[in-house]
Homo-oligomer: A and B are copies of this chain.
Amino acid sequence: MTDIAKYVTDNRERYEAELAEFLRIPSVSTDGSRADDVVAAAEWLAAKIREAGLEDAEVIATDGHPIVVASHITDPSAPTVLVYGHYDVQPEDPVDLWTSPPFEPDIRDGRMYARGSVDDKGQVYMHVKALEARLANGLGMPVNVKLVFEGEEEVGSKNLEAFLKSHSDRLSADAVLISDTGMFSRDVPSITIGLRGLAYVEVICTGPKGDLHSGSYGGAVVNPANALCKIVAGLKDEDGRVTIPGFYDKVLDVSAIEKEGLAKLPFDEPGFISETGVTELDGEVGFDTLERLWYRPTLDVNGLLSGFTGEGAKTVLPSHAMAKVSMRLVPNQDPSEIAELARAHIQNLAPRGVTVEVHEHHGGTPWVSDPASSIFEAGAAALEKAFGSQPVFIREGGSIPIVPMFESLFGPVMLLGFGLPGSNLHAPDEWIDLEMYNKGIATLVDLYDEIASRGV
């Protein structure tokens, strides 16, 4: 064991105690009454970064919650890595479903349970502790590092892009490192190289000008809730394919090499089924589960509302009916183009006697990166050393809109995350595995040497 590895192991309890301190601050960004807690979390984090040896760490105000910025410049001509993360957290609701209070970290079976433990305070703090370990042990930094930790990720990163642009001198970098994703499984360290994009529309179907009595009018006045169901049902066919004309035109096929990679992954389908609680899986015909989640676009209803939804029976013919419909996109689909195709198809599906409005919500571009670049090689090497097993390149079915944004502003983005499946992100009983937390710190300690030896 190297000196630094020993240091990381020896300090394990302190790392956990400090993380617990961080997690006790309820920095819920969407809750206006907790704005002071969000600031307190930023100040706490900046102080810890200064203690770690990045003495310029500061909390900078924005129009929303503040952003923590720090840097350690070894040599202005050396490559610079920008580390992004967020110190804000999701609301803890429904609070009564937590086993232990969401802001009183509790360790059970090697996991620390608390809101923000894995998303993303725990992963942010791994970076701080990795830097501390290097600097405290006299390893120094073979590349420059800059940190940018925001407090608005859970509310849409509203002020981030403008901030990055207005602080471009201070934040210029050659590559971006983000730890806000997960591992394929406990034994399979992972780098995420693809994210799906998003197009999101809201469909409002209107019939009569007010709710009518379904007895007096039913049968002659077209029911907008029935019409809406007809429209939504018409968006997918029996094979689970989206019927919007042109929807698949720009979708890239799953390549032979990607299929080969997928086949090697030890995907635990029974575990996935039992985690979700469904009776069986189903989706687009001709693709398996990981292809459906990572490589294929899809269409999901996210919300439905019409008429009487209380207990019991009310015989109303509703005036209108609403569906929120989102589509996950893959390279090279374009969110605006897909939303437009969806709008046209929805209007075509609308039956006589109702009017249909289609509103577009904010979307996101799908993202995929080339694993054959030096930064990914560096990440893979560091993961392999810390975990003792070969890492895999995976994708994620969700969208992280800031990733394409960072890539366009700075260059390659590496998503090196340490969450485990089933960590209850955005749900009660969120947890981080403390062994992953410690191995993550070890990975990040080593990573800078791996990057320095390969370049960016």
Contact = CB atoms under 8 A, between A and B. Distances in A.
A261 to B, nearest CB: 18
A120 to B, nearest CB: 15
Given A313-B362, A317-B300, A221 B281 contact: yes
A339 to B, nearest CB: 12
Which 10 pairs of residues, A with B, have the shortest CB-CB distance?
A215-B398, A209-B277, A219-B298, A233-B233, A225-B301, A229-B232, A313-B361, A303-B307, A304-B306, A219-B292
Interface stretch (A11-19, A158-166, A351-359, A370-378): A351-359
Given A300-B226, A301-B225, A398-B215, A307 B324 contact: yes
Nearest to A200: B313
A399 B213 CA distance: 10
**How many copies of this chain?**
2
B215 A396 contact: yes
Nearest to A428: B210
Interface of A: 196, 198, 200, 202, 207-210, 212-223, 225-226, 228-230, 232-236, 272, 276-284, 289, 292-293, 296-309, 312-318, 321-324, 326, 328, 351-355, 361-362, 396-399, 425-427
B315 A198 contact: yes
A361 B223 contact: no
B217 A397 contact: yes
Given A281-B221, A302-B313, A229 B226 contact: no
A427 B216 contact: no
Nearest to A196: B215
Task: Give the one of A217, A309, A322, A427 with max B CB within 10 A.
Answer: A217
Given A216-B398, A353-B282, A322 B306 contact: no
B293 A316 contact: no
A172 to B, nearest CB: 31
A301 B226 contact: yes
Given A215-B328, A280-B353, A318 B293 contact: no
A219 B304 contact: no
Contact of A355 (B279, B315, B352): B279
A351 B282 contact: yes
24 contacts: A200-B313, A210-B277, A210-B427, A214-B328, A215-B397, A215-B398, A219-B284, A219-B292, A220-B292, A222-B278, A222-B282, A225-B300, A226-B299, A228-B304, A229-B230, A232-B233, A282-B351, A301-B307, A301-B321, A302-B307, A302-B317, A304-B304, A315-B326, A315-B399
Contacts of A222: 278, 281-283
A333 to B, nearest CB: 14
Contacts of A425: 213
A425 B323 CA distance: 30
Contacts of A298: 218-219
A232 B323 CA distance: 14
Given A304-B307, A326-B315, A198 B210 contact: no
B230 A215 contact: no
Contacts of A324: 307-309, 313-314
Contacts of A303: 225, 306-309, 314, 316, 318
A183 to B, nearest CB: 14
A279 B353 CA distance: 5
Given A313-B362, A326-B313, A352-B280, A300 B233 contact: no
B302 A305 contact: no
B214 A326 contact: yes
Contacts of A314: 302-303, 324
A157 B214 CA distance: 20
B212 A276 contact: yes
A278 B313 contact: no
A225 B398 contact: no
Contacts of A233: 226, 229-230, 232-234
A233 B321 CA distance: 14
A1 B325 CA distance: 68
Contacts of A312: 361
